[in-house]
């Protein structure tokens, strides 16, 4: 997982003279960004597809695990019958070569898997990175040194290679939980760095000193006084980390160490389509477009959120 370009510090958004809240100002800036609106529309579309995957496959009439031998030509090594990979009223996006499984059903369940793993991995990395970053920034000293060295160690690894190695030697079990744990474990140092920098900045602010004088203890200061004032860069990081994790999950599945068949995954479908792209390019194009649009949408929205929170540091 590569480091994201999110800044370590982001100035708070000041309310305008009209009295609008900072969150309303951020939302208004995002709404004026056409790229962000496009990104949000694509995100909502794929989230709805992922959530309603069982209903969509019920309407389509094919589960992602059903084989349809009548949709493939066994005399031609299992090439889908018909044009564009077998697209028809029965199979809306065609069928897989050899197996005859419905591509639409596997694509919608692939959206569910990709978004589930990516979002859960971001939640893990944000929770761990936020807690450890707050501790390092607030207490300093040997606590900061120890946490910072662990961050440096994890960030120095070529993460994708080590993810492949770790997943390969792990016992077979719930692959989704395994991917979430490993991706989240390699991702938390980046948000930890951001939170640590913010904590160092705000720990001597007046409201923190006032809480300390008033008798507030460490946890109360960390999570009631400091954390609410550094949520903006955490949200930006989380939004930009999701497309990174989607790409990582697809890469791991493409390399054969991610989600295992018969569970559907976009990366797995792209890998299987490589030997068929000359005779059935749609099998490669459809999951490739889904992966491209999802990553693009989250990236556009994350960039817009970063610029909305820090207009002077953005492209506006």
Measured between alpha carbons, how far is 70 from 113 in angstroms, rounded to an integer? 28
Q: Which residue has the higher pLDDT, 160 or 54?
A: 54
In a domain? residue 221: yes
Measured between alpha carbons, how far is 6 from 140 in angstroms, rounded to an integer? 23
Instruction: Check which CATH number belongs to the domain holding 70 and give it.
Output: 1.10.3720.10
Answer whether 91's CB lies under 8 Å from 104's CB: yes
Measured between alpha carbons, how far is 2 from 50 in angstroms, rounded to an integer? 26
Res 309: pLDDT:
82
Q: Give the Cβ contact number of residue 174 at 10 Å.
A: 9
Dihedral sign (CA 254, 259, 261, 263) = negative
Q: Is 113 helix (H, G, I), strand (E, B) or coil?
A: helix
Considering only CA atoms, which of 207, 194, 276 is closest in space to residue 235? 194
The neighbouring-strand residues paired with 79 are 73
Answer whether 266's CB lies under 8 Å from 291's CB: yes
- Give per-residue pLDDT as tens, 12-50: 444 444 556 777 887 888 888 899 999 999 999 999 999
CA distances from 7 to 11, 172, 300 (A): 10, 38, 17
Measured between alpha carbons, how far is 209 from 71 in angstroms, rounded to an integer? 71
In a domain? residue 1: no
Measured between alpha carbons, how far is 44 from 265 in angstroms, rounded to an integer? 19
Least confident of 3-7, 19-23, 27-31, 229-233: 3-7
> Given a cut of 70, is residue 296 above it in pLDDT?
yes
Side-chain half-sphere CA neighbours of 233 within 13 A: 27
Q: What does R_g of the chain's alpha carbons equal in angstroms?
A: 23
In a domain? residue 12: no
What pTM value is reported for the model? 0.87
- Give per-residue pLDDT as tens, 265-288: 999 999 999 888 888 899 999 999
Q: Nearest-5° angle of CA 64, CA 116, CA 232?
A: 155
> Given a cut of 60, is residue 9 above it in pLDDT?
no
- Give per-residue pLDDT as tens, 119-174: 999 999 999 999 999 999 999 899 999 999 999 999 988 888 888 888 888 877 78
In a domain? residue 266: yes
In a domain? residue 14: no
In a domain? residue 2: no
Overall number of domains in the chain:
1
In a domain? residue 300: yes
Domain span at residue 187 reads 22-313
- As a residue count, the chain comes to 316
Q: Which residue has the higher pLDDT, 12 or 216?
A: 216
| H-only helix segments in 203-230 | 206-213, 218-220
Which residues, other chains included, contact 218 with Cβ-Cβ below 8 Å and sequence gap of 6+?
138, 139
In a domain? residue 295: yes
């Amino acid at each position: 997982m590569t480091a994201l370009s999110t800044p370590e510090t982001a100035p708070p958004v000041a309310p305008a003279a009209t009295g609008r809240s900072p969150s309303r100002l951020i939302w208004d800036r995002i709404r004026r960004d056409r790229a962000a609106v496009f990104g949000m529309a694509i995100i909502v579309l794929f989230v709805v597809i992922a959530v309603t995957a069982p209903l969509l496959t019920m309407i389509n009439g094919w589960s992602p695990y059903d084989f349809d031998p009548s949709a493939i030509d066994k005399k031609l090594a299992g090439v889908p019958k018909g044009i564009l990979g077998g697209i028809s009223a029965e199979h809306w996006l065609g069928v897989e070569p050899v197996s005859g499984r419905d591509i639409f059903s596997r694509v919608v369940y692939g959206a569910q898997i990709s978004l589930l793993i990516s979002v859960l991995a971001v939640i893990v990395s944000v929770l761990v990175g936020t807690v450890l970053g707050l501790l390092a920034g607030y207490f300093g000293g040997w606590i900061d040194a120890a946490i910072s060295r662990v961050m440096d160690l994890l960030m120095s690894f070529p993460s994708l290679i080590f993810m492949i190695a770790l997943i390969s030697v792990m016992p077979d079990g719930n692959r989704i939980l395994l991917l979430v744990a490993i991706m989240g474990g390699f991702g938390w140092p980046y948000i930890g760095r951001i939170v640590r920098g913010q904590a160092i900045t705000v720990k001597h602010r007046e409201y923190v000193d006032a809480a300390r004088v008033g008798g507030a203890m460490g946890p109360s200061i960390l999570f009631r006084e400091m954390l609410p004032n550094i949520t903006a860069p955490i949200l930006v990081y989380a939004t930009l980390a999701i497309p990174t994790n989607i790409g990582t999950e697809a890469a791991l599945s493409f390399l054969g160490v991610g989600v295992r068949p018969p569970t559907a995954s976009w990366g797995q479908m792209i890998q299987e389509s490589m030997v068929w792209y000359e005779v059935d390019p749609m099998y490669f194009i459809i999951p490739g477009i889904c992966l491209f649009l999802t990553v693009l949408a989250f990236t556009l929205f994350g960039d817009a959120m970063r610029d909305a929170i820090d207009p002077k540091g953005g492209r506006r």
